[in-house]
Every structure is written in structure tokens, then in C-alpha cells.
A and B are shown apart, each in its own frame.
Chain A
């Protein structure tokens, strides 16, 4: 196998892994802290992309501002959805998952009807094109994604381990009763987790907007990926999520290179099934 192909595959894998990690971390956080399996996760991602389109392409705010606004917007949406829709059912993971399906459908249709179902929306990359090193293509946007993902993930880690609120929500994830005794309410923890988790997901969408087809159904595959990563990596387990994202990123890229995308999908999906089957106790939130 030519060395360029191997290097290219390596580069693609790293880039894909960073995206997977950012995409999945929001879901893992919310699931781990609040027991919320948000199946509308893909739609939050989609809204992040649409927000960038709306702010930048339609209203010219510039890409960076648009991306930040996208994060804020999706974060706030997440909090609203949590308080109005998830909170009454919190406690039963399956029930929350089912009601989040309703959120999924509502968001998909609203976006489609408001902004049309025709051609995908166009979002310009802040730095277009790519550079070529020894026959390996490095797209600028993909490098931005890698950089931003790493920064955001590090930021999240710092928040969870160094800030008062962050440690509070970690405590709430591990032992809600003990946390409550220390004045950390599960409601507040859930809201914070949902806000941050949704914002990170919106960021993933905002970052991918320039290189994806921005259309109402773009969240379907990201949801699947996020689910696989979270399930395999361990719900609420930050390190596990990132490791799994890397593993899956490499697996997917290699199989796509060697075979095709459909095979890659089948493999990813079977991977999830096998892990769900052998994980003792199924999906249990463990601490970070």
C-alpha cells in the first residue's frame, strides 16, 4: 500500500475522531449526569449548523461569531427542552428517550418548513481549501475542527474538574443523594449539563457546516455515531468517550478506504450491538 494512502488514512482518521469526540461528548455528559438519553441529539447538531448559516450566510456576522452564537442558541434550546419536556419524565431513561423522539420530529419538520427542503444551505468556510504535504491533503476546515474540538474538550475537562459547578455536577452524576445533601440539586445539575452538552453539540454542527450538506435530516447519522460512541465508551465516562471516538474514527475511516461506506456503517452498528450485549449491566451511568 502506497505510503501516501496510509498517511492520508491516518490523517483522515485523526480528523474524524476529533469530530466524533466533540459530537458524542454532549450526549455522554447529559446521559451521565441527568440520565437523559436525548435522541434529538442529531437535531441539536443540525441546529448548530443552521444557526451558522443563518447568522453568517444570511446576516454576515462572520463565521466565528456565528459559531459562538450557534453554541449559545443550541445550549439555551437544550435547557428549555429539558425543563419543559424531559424534567417530568426524568428518572426513567426509556421514557425520556421516547419523548425525545417527539422533539426530534418537531425540530426536523420546523426547520424544513421554515427554511425549505430544497438544496442544502451553503455555509462558507472561513479559510477555504487545503494544503498538500507529501501527497497528503489536509483540509483547512478539518484542521479547524480538530483544533476546536480539542480546545472545547479540554475546556470541558477543566470545567468538570476545576470549577465548583463542574465538580458539583460530577458529584450529582455519581451519587445524587450525597450531592443533594451537599446542596447540589439534581435539577440544577441536569440543567447545567443539558446546557453545556447541547452547546457542545451545536458547536459540532457549526464546525461541520462548511463541509457538510446542511439540510434538516443531517442529524440522523451523527445521532447514530454519538450513540455508538457513548454506549461503547461508557455513559458519562469522558475518557471512555474520547477513546471510543478515536477507535471508531479509525475503524470507520479504514473500512471506508478498504471497502465502502455501507460496510463501514454495518460494522459500526454491529460493534455497538456486540458491546451492548457483553457489557455487564447494560447501560449504567458511571462517573467520570
Chain B
């Protein structure tokens, strides 16, 4: 195993141990918050995965919603068990995402940004318009996941602690996959496409194909996070997946940083904490988000994850750094 994988595992031992222990310390309220936190980790990492090719997608949250609706409808209407509807949510999201890509992949940069908003909004409006998705009121009474192997095992995830561990397991699986993908050659290509697309094209890469790959993999995890959210909240409606949510997601990633895998996770953590501090001033949240975004982009454009890099030269004033 590579030395940086080893380092990652060791430095994560403590946080993961904390995450495992927390349900026995936290109150119900904070446990709910933690579940949402975990779901957001998947959402943010998958958003960043897509953005490594330079595509910032405002369709990401609507596609999460597609996963949420899929799991909700399949489990409520068809009575399918969670362990089927969860991956199905991811798959349906990728299929819808693929349809979106027909027009969307022809766009780049700012056009892609706006186009992804437009197409995501068209999807969201269709939930309002179609009977199947419950219109403005959405879908309620989404059944809780259950595992029942007759005679052996029966787990009901309607309780918060079991659901927490379910969410934790799924989140860790998703994050590990995305982390491994981040370390792979494929992500090197994604990043190269962002920096010098013509060069990458000129040595024979099908950059459209790679962009599609990044988008679809990210969308799969968005769908999964949607399913987790649907069964946790028990109720979903189109307003939860509005533009504002997508903009908050964007801000998590921009403020946390998106150069490495850890940036979005830092962003989600940072804003979850701020969200809690500011809970009393709920109405000011967007203001705080906006202010932090502006300050970050003007004074720390590479995000919070770049802070160590900025501070270390200050601490190392005595050492002379020799560059090649």
C-alpha cells in the first residue's frame, strides 16, 4: 500500500473512531444533525469529483433529488427494500443525468454552469408538474429501511441510532471509493482536462468521454445521498432541491477548497459548525454564506484547505527553501 494511503488511514483513525462513538454521546438533535452532515459529505465530495474536470454543476442537487424521489417512490409505491432502492436511486440519477448530458456536455465553463442550472430546474419543475412526484407537496411517509432475515436478524432503522450507523457505513463506503478514484490516473486526467484541455486532446484523450465519466460517477453518488436523505427525513418536496441549496453546496466547495479530496469535507464541516452557531440567527444564514464566500474568494481563493500552505512559510522563516 502506498505511503500516503497509510498516512491517510492513520490520520483518519481518530475522526472515524469519534464518528463511531458519537451516537452514544450525542443527543437526538445532534445525532440528526450528524446524519445530515454525513449525507452532505457524500454530496459535496461527488460535486467536487465532477468539478475536477472544470464542470461546476448546479444540476447536482436536482439529481440528488432524483435519487431521493426514486427511493421514496420505489419503497412507498412498490414496497421495495432499502438495500435495493438505494443503489437504484443512484442508477436512476445517472440515467437522468445522461439524458441531461446530451445538451449539457456541449457547454463549457460559465455556459455549463448556467445550463446545468436550467436543466436541473427543468427536472425540478417536472416534479411539480407530474402526479407521480406529488406536485408541490412532494412525498410523505417514506418508509424507514428495514433489514429482516427471518429467524436471524431484524433491524429496524426507524430509530435514530441504527439509522446513524447505516448512514455512516454508506458514507464511508462512498468516500473511500471517491478517495481511491481521486488518487488514480483517471483523476489526473480529469484535472489535466481542466487545466489544458487542448493539450490533453492532442495526445489522444477523448475529453468529452472523460467529462461524461466524471459527471456520471458524481451523479451516482448524488443519487445515493438523496436516497439516504429521503428515508431520514421521511418527507421530500421540490423546494428542498431548489437553487439555493445548490448554491450553498457550491459555497461549501469553494470555501473549503477543491484542489484536493479533503477540501469539500473541510467545507461541509466548517459550514455545519457555523450553521449551528448561527442557529439563533437563522435568517442571517444566507448573509453569512455570502460574506464568507466573498471574503474567501478575495483573500483565500484556494479555500480553507490551502491555509496550512499559507501559514507554514510564516513559521519557517528561518529555513531557506531552495527551489529547483
Contact = CB atoms under 8 A, between A and B. Distances in A.
Interface of A: 37, 85, 88-89, 93-95, 97-99, 101-106, 108-110, 112-113, 117, 220, 224, 227-228, 231, 262-263, 265-266, 269-270, 272-274, 276-279, 282-283
Contacts of A37: 110, 114
The 6 closest A-B pairs by CB, nearest first: A105-B290, A277-B103, A109-B287, A282-B111, A102-B293, A102-B290
Interface of B: 56, 102-104, 106-115, 118-119, 121-122, 125-126, 128-129, 243, 247, 250-251, 254, 283-287, 289-294, 297-298
10 contacts: A89-B297, A94-B56, A94-B110, A94-B113, A98-B293, A101-B247, A106-B286, A269-B122, A272-B114, A277-B103
B129 A262 contact: yes
A29 to B, nearest CB: 17
B289 A105 contact: yes
Given A94-B56, A105-B289, A113 B284 contact: yes
A89 B298 CA distance: 8
A93 B109 contact: yes
Nearest to B289: A105
- Interface of chain A, helix or strand or loop or mixed? helix
Contact of B297 (A99, A108, A227): A99
B294 A277 contact: no
Nearest to A31: B110
Contacts of A282: 107-112
A218 to B, nearest CB: 15
Contacts of B250: 98, 101
Contacts of B112: 282
A85 B287 contact: no
Contacts of B109: 93-94, 282
Nearest to B291: A106
A28 to B, nearest CB: 14
A2 to B, nearest CB: 27
Contacts of B128: 262
Given A94-B110, A276-B103, 9 more contacts: A101-B250, A102-B293, A103-B294, A105-B287, A263-B129, A266-B122, A270-B118, A278-B106, A282-B112
A279 B103 CA distance: 11
B294 A99 contact: yes
Contacts of A109: 283-287, 290
Contacts of A283: 110-111, 114
- Interface of chain B, helix or strand or loop or mixed? helix
B116 to A, nearest CB: 9
A277 B111 CA distance: 9
Most buried by B among A105, A276, A279: A105
B125 A269 contact: yes
Given A269-B118, A276-B115, A93 B110 contact: yes
A224 B113 CA distance: 13
A277 B110 contact: no
B114 A276 contact: yes
Contacts of B287: 105-106, 108-110, 113
A93 B113 CA distance: 11
A86 to B, nearest CB: 10
A85 B126 CA distance: 36
A104 B290 contact: yes
A88 B126 CA distance: 39
B151 to A, nearest CB: 51
A101 B293 contact: yes
Nearest to B285: A109
B294 A85 contact: yes
Contacts of A103: 290, 294
B118 A272 contact: yes
A285 to B, nearest CB: 11
A272 B115 contact: yes
Contacts of B126: 266
A263 B126 CA distance: 9
B290 A101 contact: yes
Given A89-B297, A93-B109, A94-B110, A273 B290 contact: no
A108 B125 contact: no
Nearest to A260: B129
